[in-house]
């Protein structure tokens, strides 16, 4: 077991710790200390359960622990799947004092968090993220949701976890493609608010892709510091939190268009960040050299730098339901420089049209 780093998400009475380290799943009482509930439901999926469920259940010794093992995949981040968890909660008489543990990647975290937010109008829950993406982003900040067939994360709530336990050892079993998808959200923090981190990521990309534990731990910790700081400033996305959405307006359109799953969230966000970067360059905000740097780091991380074949009209249609639309006006996260992002509706519409023309397939 190595050192554990603990960060804090400062939200007054709803503050909570993020523990990052190795061997955490085998530490007795780490979960129960943060979840003083008699009944606990562990929500996980069929891929994660064989690796980690027994250890989490063992750590809940002394509690009445149950588990629900869901099918795996973004397409199961739905109300129908949430209903399976509600069914288990009813069956085992879960009351307001009961608690939920989300064990898995962002799909499980978002769905279990949504169930926790809505079960009897809100019960406690804890995040045990097991993908890089979930450790650096989705487990922190309390955005919970399920998808609608017509739009990503359309049905959700803000509901903060009581604690985040990121055991880096769980990344040992993560497929390479999923590791790369997680790197997209790590790179995002550099692009929106930390040019030095971006330089560090460029230098350390080979180590990260080779799963060097120290490099991964530093990437997780620096990412969580950024996420915690943004969330503490603007929990409910009244302003600056929207910067965490860089690439997501384009990316969510890609995920919805491709039916939730063909493109991983991180892959869609990577292509979306390239599109946002290209548009920022077209606006005259980002230099050509910096755009190429953005494209290069994503490409070195093995991520897509262009969307799938999609007509521009389909992008327009899907982007129109983005949650950042205000009074019918689309707001986008664009870059003024690397490490300096802005959320704005004051973009040149011609720059958006040029971006869609540049990246989209023409209708047959
Ligand atoms: N709430 C937020 O703030 C937030 C932030 C970013 C992303 N998200 C959401 O997160 C989701 C994406 O999360 P994700 O990338 O973790 O995808 P995911 O949850 O689908 O996990 C990726 C894959 O890895 C498997 N897996 C998980 N842990 C594993 C492990 N340790 N070993 C082996 N396999 C493992 C999963 O079963 C799945 O097949 C999207 O729905 C996205 O919208 C939410
Ligand atoms: O925490 C946030 O805020 C984010 O925007 C993080 C994103 O990486 C994440 O994908 C989030 O789920 C997107 O939220 P949404 O509000 O655009 O659905
Ligand atoms: Zn995201």
Q: Which CATH architecture has domain 5-173?
A: 3-Layer(aba) Sandwich (3.40)
Mention the CATH class of domain 176-359. Answer: mainly alpha
Q: Are 311 and 363 in contact (CB under 8 A)?
A: yes
Q: Find, among 79, 70, 237, 245, the residue nearest to 146 by Cα.
A: 79
What is the reported pLDDT for 307?
98
Ligand 1 atom index nearest CA of 152? 43
* pLDDT, position 203: 98
pLDDT at 253: 98
Long-range contacts at 339-346 (CB < 8 A, ≥ 24 apart) = 339/190, 339/191, 339/192, 339/193, 339/194, 339/195, 339/196, 339/198, 340/192, 340/193, 340/195, 341/191, 341/192, 341/193, 341/243, 341/246, 342/243, 343/239, 343/240, 343/242, 343/243, 343/245
Task: Tell me which residue of 198, 224, 186 sits closest to 338, measured CA to CA.
Answer: 198
Ligand 1 neighbourhood includes 134 CB (under 6 angstroms):
yes
What pTM was estimated for this model as a whole? 0.98
Distance 118 CA to ligand 3 centre (A): 22
Q: Name the token pair of 92.
A: 């085992």
**pLDDT score for 364:** 58
Q: Which residue has the tokens 């129109």?
A: 320
141: Cβ below 6 Å to ligand 2? yes
Residue 163 DSSP label = -
What's the CA gap between 19 and 100, in Å, rounded?
18
Which residues belong to the annotated binding site for Zn(2+)?
Answer: 185, 248, 265
CA distance 273 to 250: 8
Nearest Cα neighbor of 191 from 244, 242, 228 is 244
Q: Is the CB of 244 under 6 A from ligand 2?
A: yes
- Tens of each residue's pLDDT in the chain, 364 residues: 458 999 999 999 999 999 999 999 999 888 888 888 999 999 999 999 999 999 999 999 889 999 999 999 999 999 999 999 999 999 999 999 999 999 999 999 999 999 999 999 999 999 999 999 999 999 999 999 999 999 999 999 999 999 999 999 999 999 999 999 999 999 999 999 999 999 999 999 999 999 999 999 999 999 999 999 999 999 999 999 999 999 999 999 999 999 999 999 999 999 999 999 999 999 999 999 999 999 999 999 999 999 999 999 999 999 999 999 999 999 999 999 999 999 999 999 999 999 999 999 766 5
User: Can you give the pLDDT at residue 200?
Assistant: 98
Residues carrying an active site annotation? 121, 143, 185, 227, 237, 241, 245, 248, 252, 265
Q: What residue segments make up the domains of the chain, in order of their start?
A: 5-173, 176-359
């Amino acid at each position: 077991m190595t050192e554990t780093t603990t960060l804090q998400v400062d939200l007054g009475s709803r503050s909570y710790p993020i523990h990052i380290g190795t061997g955490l799943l085998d530490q007795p009482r780490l979960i129960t200390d943060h979840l003083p509930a008699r009944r606990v439901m562990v929500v996980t999926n069929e891929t994660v359960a064989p690796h980690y469920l027994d250890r989490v259940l063992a750590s809940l010794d002394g509690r009445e622990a149950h588990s629900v093992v869901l099918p795996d995949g973004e397409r199961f981040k739905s109300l129908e799947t949430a209903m399976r968890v509600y069914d288990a909660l009813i069956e085992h008489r879960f009351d307001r004092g009961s608690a939920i543990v989300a064990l898995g990647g962002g799909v499980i975290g978002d769905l279990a968090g949504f169930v926790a937010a809505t079960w009897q109008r809100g019960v406690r829950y804890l995040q045990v993220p097991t993908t890089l993406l979930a450790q650096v982003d989705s487990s922190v900040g309390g955005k919970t949701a399920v998808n609608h067939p017509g739009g990503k994360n359309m049905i959700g709530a803000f509901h903060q976890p009581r604690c985040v336990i990121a055991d880096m050892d769980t990344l040992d079993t993560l497929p390479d493609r999923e590791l790369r998808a997680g790197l997209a959200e790590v790179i995002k923090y550099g692009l929106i608010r930390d040019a030095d981190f971006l330089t560090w990521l460029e230098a350390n990309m080979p180590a990260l892709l080779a799963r060097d534990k120290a490099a991964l731990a530093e990437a997780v910790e620096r990412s969580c510091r950024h996420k915690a700081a943004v969330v503490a400033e603007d929990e409910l996305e009244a302003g600056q939190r929207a910067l965490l959405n860089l690439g997501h307006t384009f990316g969510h359109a890609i995920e919805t268009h491709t039916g939730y799953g063909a493109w991983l969230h991180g892959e869609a966000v990577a292509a979306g960040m390239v599109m946002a970067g290209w548009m920022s360059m077209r606006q005259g905000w980002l230099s050509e050299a910096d755009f190429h740097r953005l494209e290069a780091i994503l490409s070195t991380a093995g991520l897509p730098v262009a969307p799938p074949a999609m007509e521009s009209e389909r992008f327009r249609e899907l982007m129109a339901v983005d949650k950042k639309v205000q009074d019918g006006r689309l707001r986008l996260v664009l870059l003024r420089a690397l490490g300096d992002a802005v959320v704005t509706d004051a973009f040149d519409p011609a720059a958006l049209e040029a971006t869609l023309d540049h990246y989209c397939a023409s209708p047959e």
